Amino acid sequence: MLEKCSILQVYLIPKEMSQRVYSLGAPQLTLLIKMPQKRRSQTWTELKQAGNECFKNGQYGEAASLYTQAIQLVEKSGKKNQEDLGVLYSNRAATYLKDGNCSECVKDCTVALDLVPFSIKPLLRRAAAHEALERYRLAYVDYKTVLQIDCNIPAAHDGTNRMTKALTEQDGPAWREKLPPIPTVPLAVRERMSQAVTPTPVSQQNGTCQKESQGDGAVKQALALKEEGNALVKKGEHKKAIEKYTESIKLNPTEATTYTNRALCYLSLKMYKEAVRDCAEALKLDSSNVKALYRRAQAYKEMKDYKACVEDLNTLLKIEPKNTAARKLQLEVQKIK
């Protein structure tokens, strides 16, 4: 039996007893409170979204926990979608990077890249983590791999330049000889990425902000035109090749090799100023581009600007000390001077 009282009385009772309590007639007021129902479990996509929100708010520990729960749900489901898992591991890696847990960041990025090879975000995040751990060679390899996929990513250019400087100081002029192999990115991957969106630098987002890449098919068409130009060069038809490279550059002005290829044609046609200009554009995109440095040095030599020629060759030989063509050209210029 429920006791009567002269003050507000709260009864915590199951729903099925509610009629019986009303019949007892509490003297002042009776409040019926429903027993708490079991909370619905969140899906992995909801956990991921919640993690993204926490990340945006700077709650990196909570975000990592939510991504971990999402990963566990996906893995337990038996329906392992590699792309979904890759994104989750990459996102969790971003939280570790923000918290300074670089070793765990590297581990998660490596798992993400095993699931979806040549993904830009985990490559950039792993590169940043390696850099923070002073593993400059590994960081350099990751940054250069990103540039193979998309040469228009400032974070990768900046990282490559920093690593080049750090490795030169650490290992001397022969630092390239101590690098691990840089993987070759398949053409299919580059074509796929050229039609997708280009991610913003790793420090600015976590899968939430992206910018539009060039129009659908434009980069792919530019690549096809470049290949046509390459075929014409092999036939010795340099003027026609220049036309193809020029069309390619209009569609995609961020491909360094198209500029260096056109520069080669200009050299063959003794159009040295144009060759210098194209090599300069290529070096804006990739400051350590050996072909651009060598071909500009060749053009400077023909223009009798020996000082500029030697400067380019010296820069090139710091990057590739064993470049025999550059050594030979350097000796030739020294004899002329």
131 and 70 in one domain? yes
Q: For 159-191, how does the pLDDT look when each residue is reduced to its tens digit (9 = 90+)?
A: 888 998 888 888 888 888 888 988 888 877 777
CB 294 within 8 A of CB 260: no
The model's pTM is 0.52
Reading the block at residue 335, the tokens are 């004899």
| More confident of the two residues 149 and 267 | 267
222 and 323 in one domain? yes
pLDDT value at residue 173: 80
User: In this structure, what CATH number is given to the domain that contains residue 123?
Assistant: 1.25.40.10
Q: Residue 90 — very low, low, confident or very high, per pLDDT cuts 50/70/90?
A: very high
pLDDT value at residue 194: 62
Mean pLDDT to the nearest integer, 148-161: 86
Beta bridge partners of 199: 210
- Count Cβ atoms below 10 Å from residue 82 Cβ, excluding itself: 12
Rounded to an integer, what distance in angstroms lies between the CA atom of residue 145 and that of residue 260? 19
Query: How far are the Cα atoms of 258, 321, 332 from residue 326, in angstroms, in the given order?
Result: 21, 9, 10
Rounded to an integer, what distance in angstroms lies between the CA atom of residue 317 and that of residue 179? 16
Q: Residue 42 — very low, low, confident or very high, per pLDDT cuts 50/70/90?
A: confident
Mean pLDDT to the nearest integer, 60-87: 88
Nearest to 159 by CA among 144, 181, 178: 144
DSSP 169-200: HHH-TTGGGGSPPPPPPPHHHHHHHHTSPEEP
164 and 51 in one domain? yes
141 and 58 in one domain? yes
Reading the block at residue 110, the tokens are 């490596």
Q: How far is Cα of residue 79 from the mean position of the Cα atoms in its chain?
A: 27
Q: Is residue 278 part of a domain?
A: yes
The dihedral sign for the CA sequence 289, 291, 295, 298:
positive
Residue found under tokens 């902000």: 209
Q: Is residue 213 part of a domain?
A: no
Q: Is residue 118 part of a domain?
A: yes
Highest-scoring range by mean pLDDT, 197-201, 215-219, 276-280: 276-280
> Is the pLDDT at 319 greater than 50, yes or no?
yes
Nearest to 179 by CA among 170, 189, 192: 170
146 and 228 in one domain? no
222 and 134 in one domain? no
CB 268 within 8 A of CB 235: no
What ranges in 183-271 are assigned the alpha helix state H?
187-194, 218-234, 238-251, 256-268
158 and 243 in one domain? no
Task: Look up residue 43 and give its amino acid.
Answer: T
158 and 237 in one domain? no
pLDDT value at residue 38: 52
* Residue 210 per-residue DSSP state: E
Domain tally for the chain? 2
Q: Is residue 178 part of a domain?
A: no
pLDDT value at residue 122: 95
Domain range enclosing 143: 44-171+186-192
167 and 99 in one domain? yes
**What's the distance, Cα to Cα, between the start and end of the chain in Å?**
113
Q: Is residue 122 part of a domain?
A: yes
229 and 161 in one domain? no
Residue found under tokens 């489901």: 77
Nearest to 300 by CA among 264, 273, 278, 261: 273
CB 260 within 8 A of CB 279: yes
Q: For 114-138, how does the pLDDT look when each residue is reduced to its tens digit (9 = 90+)?
A: 999 999 999 999 999 999 999 999 9
Q: Is residue 276 part of a domain?
A: yes
Q: Is residue 70 part of a domain?
A: yes
Q: For 49-73, how does the pLDDT look when each residue is reduced to its tens digit (9 = 90+)?
A: 999 999 998 899 999 999 999 999 9
Nearest to 227 by CA among 253, 207, 247, 201: 247
For strands 9-12 and 30-33, give the pairing. parallel
Query: How far are the Cα atoms of 123, 168, 176, 283, 324 from residue 136, in angstroms, in the given order?
Result: 14, 10, 11, 22, 26
322 and 222 in one domain? yes
Reading the block at residue 332, the tokens are 């030739």
Nearest to 90 by CA among 69, 104, 74: 104
Q: Is residue 13 part of a domain?
A: no
Kindly report the average pLDDT of the chain as a whole number: 81
95 and 164 in one domain? yes
